[in-house]
Amino acid sequence: MADISIRNLVKTYPGNTEPATKNISLHVEDGEFMVLLGPSGCGKTTLLRMIAGLELPDAGAISIGGRDMTYLPPNRRNLSMVFQSYAVFPHRRVRQNIGFGLMTRKMPKDEIARKVAWAAELLQLTPYLDRYPAQLSGGQRQRVAVARAIVVDADVLLMDEPLSNLDALLRLNFRAELKKIVEHIGTTTVYVTHDQVEALSLGDRVAVMEAGKIAQLGHPMEVYDRPADTFVGGFIGSPPMNFLDGQVADGRIIFGEGASIPAPAAVPPGPIRIGIRAEAISIAAHRPDLVPAVVDVVEPLGAATLLTVKVADQSLKVQIPPSQRVSSGETVFLHFAPDSVRLYDPQTGLGLLASV
């Protein structure tokens, strides 16, 4: 068990002009489950590989459990990893694949057998223990990679999109299972994903990355509720956060002719961008202080209905209960829950203090 401390990591791959990570600092507490979330190519795998020792940083430092690890070879860091590409050993049966890390740690045979059986049971791999990886499906291979990583008693567990190839049902079950396992073994975990549902449901904390930087670091609900900038808000949530451009004047934020909401007291006059989640908007019968909108698309999703509406030529997603009947072309009136309105600078996309 150990904490991970990352200070000012810079890494540029040879031949690239743009660094893959730009001065990243991050502290992962002992036993914490940290999720790295971000779009493809933002440097998640690169950061993970530097923690693992598979990639050496150009500058900066990494220490695990108070020991400097920056340039130590991977086998001397006592960690465990699930690779994005699985990296199971093609020439070893599933049984030997799962037990590999135990074998190199010179664990007695019967103990290895016991732990392999435990992990195989957990990941529903028991029927395949004597197969070669080539005889498994992609999802099964991925589970072998996960099993191989959780059996070893490592200081740090690194996982690079370990659920990406499972079907929806298995992923749902396995996500909960994984949370239980990791809580049980209590290992410090860094988990990479670009699936925001996974990030929010698993993480003790979430680090949202954008183009080699950490855009926001915080508890999942905080990241969801109070995105630090428009990138984070637009990346997290399904549908993503709505953004509306307006002008502040006379204590109101005006989006267009007859469409305005009250502005928080501290906001100076001028252009502004507001962010609001689809579920924080409700529709109501006509009241003069509500925002009129024209319904564009109606998508019934079962548990809720998703509307795409137009407010003064800007598109918005609105989530309403399925009992409320609306048809496209209709004019509706939107109520923005005042606590859920976030304010952003339209130039930089950064959150304004009045809301965050």
Ligand X SMILES: Nc1ncnc2c1ncn2[C@@H]1O[C@H](COP(=O)(O)OP(=O)(O)OP(=O)(O)O)[C@@H](O)[C@H]1O
Residues 28-57 that bind ligand X (CB under 6 A): 38, 40-46
β-partners of residue 343 are 274
- Contact between 21 and Mg ion by CB under 5 A: the answer reads no
Structure tokens at 163: 């659920």
Residue holding tokens 């925002």?
291
Residue 56 main-chain phi, psi, to 5 deg: -100, 135
Question: Which is closer to ligand X, CB of 43 or CB of 275?
Answer: 43
Count Cβ atoms below 10 Å from residue 261 Cβ, excluding itself: 20
CA 321 to chain CA mean position, Å: 27
Q: Using CB distances below 5 to 8 A depending on partner kind, what does residue 42 bind out of ligand X, other proteins, Mg ion, none? A: ligand X
Stretch that binds Mg ion, among 19-27, 45-53, 95-103, 196-204 (CB under 5 A): 45-53
Which residue minimizes CB distance to Mg ion?
A: 45
Q: What gap in Å lies between CA 194 and CA 36, rounded to an integer?
A: 8
Q: Using CB distances below 5 to 8 A depending on partner kind, what does residue 305 bind out of Mg ion, ligand X, other proteins, none? A: none
Which residue minimizes CB distance to ligand X?
A: 45
- Contact between 45 and Mg ion by CB under 5 A: the answer reads yes
Residue holding tokens 């890494």?
11
State the binding string over 66-85 for ligand X (x if CB under 6 A, else -): ------------------x-
β-partners of residue 309 are 295, 316
Residue 257 gets which letter from DSSP?
T
Q: Are 201 and 175 in contact (CB under 8 A)?
A: yes
Interaction site with other proteins (CB under 8 A) = 14, 52-54, 73-75, 79-81, 83, 85-91, 100-101, 104-105, 132-135, 148, 152
When computed from its CA atoms, the radius of gyration of the chain, rounded to whole angstroms, is 24
Question: Which is closer to other proteins, CB of 78 or CB of 201?
Answer: 78
Residues 182-241 that bind ligand X (CB under 6 A): 194
Q: Are 319 and 189 in contact (CB under 8 A)?
A: no
Question: Which is closer to ligand X, CB of 40 or CB of 327?
Answer: 40
Count Cβ atoms below 10 Å from residue 33 Cβ, excluding itself: 23
Using CB under 6 A, pick the residue from 2, 4, 20, 37 that binds ligand X: 20
Q: Using CB distances below 5 to 8 A depending on partner kind, what does residue 302 bind out of other proteins, ligand X, Mg ion, none? A: none
Sequence-distant (6+) residues with CB within 8 A of 333 are 283, 284, 285, 286, 287, 290, 291, 292, 293
Q: Using CB distances below 5 to 8 A depending on partner kind, what does residue 88 bind out of other proteins, ligand X, Mg ion, none? A: other proteins
- Contact between 13 and ligand X by CB under 6 A: the answer reads yes
* Residue 109: CB minimum distance to other proteins, A: 17
CA atoms within 13 A on the CB side of 84: 12
Q: List residues binding ligand X (CB under 6 A).
A: 13, 16, 20, 38, 40-46, 84, 194
Q: Interface with Mg ion by CB under 5 A: which residues? A: 45, 84
